[in-house]
Amino acid sequence: MKMRTRIALITLLLVFAGCAAWAVEPRERLADPTLEARARGISGQLRCLVCQNESIDESGADLAHDIRIFVRQRLTAGDTDAQTVQSVVNRYGAFVLLRPPVEPATYVLWYGPPLLVVAALAGSLLWLRRRQTAPESETAPLNAEETSRLQRLMRETDG
């Protein structure tokens, strides 16, 4: 591989590896490193409502920016981490949480996938068991005329 191609690939790798770090803008950051660390921890738990597959810490969406600012305002006002998260949930709903709480409304999210896996395994085992107990052949054996015809056909193909 040419040297230029290698350099281009390494540059692309470094650019895309740092994208998540670019989401939190320098003007958003708090001067107090302890509060900033708490804000980053909370931001990692909250879903971007625009992207839906990223935390607000990773997202560059305007709404994610607004939520990051709101989180920092709550922390600066003296809220605990739990109070800050609850403020965001009160404002945007429980969907904003990347890990929703285990409650009756979310039982399907938490218990649905394992139940589907168990059901699929049980169905597969049942199918395999029935397949093993099924008779090998449901056809009747050949009668004398069919046997002689088969032997004659086999001799014709051999010779």
46: closest CA among 22, 77, 69?
69
CATH architecture, range 3-99 = Orthogonal Bundle (1.10)
pLDDT of residue 121: 96
pLDDT of residue 13: 61
Higher pLDDT, 100 or 147: 147
Are 51 and 61 in contact by the 8 Å Cβ rule? The answer is: yes
CA 109/CA 147 separation, integer angstroms: 62
- For the entire predicted model, the pTM comes to 0.57
Q: For all residues of the chain together, what is the average pLDDT?
A: 83
pLDDT of residue 126: 92
Q: Which residues pair with 97 in a beta bridge?
A: 46
Helix/strand/coil for 93: coil
Helix/strand/coil for 26: coil
Residue 18 has pLDDT above 70, yes or no: no
**pLDDT (tens digit, 9 = 90+) per residue, 128-141?**
888 877 666 667 78
Residue 14 has pLDDT above 70, yes or no: no
Percent share of the chain, pLDDT over 70? 82
Residue 122 has pLDDT above 70, yes or no: yes
pLDDT of residue 19: 45
Rounded to 5 degrees, φ, ψ at 55 are: -80, 165
Tokens of 148: 């002689």
Tokens of 57: 């810490």
Higher pLDDT, 11 or 85: 85
pLDDT of residue 20: 45
**pLDDT (tens digit, 9 = 90+) per residue, 19-56?**
444 567 666 777 778 888 888 899 888 988 888 788 88
pLDDT of residue 119: 96
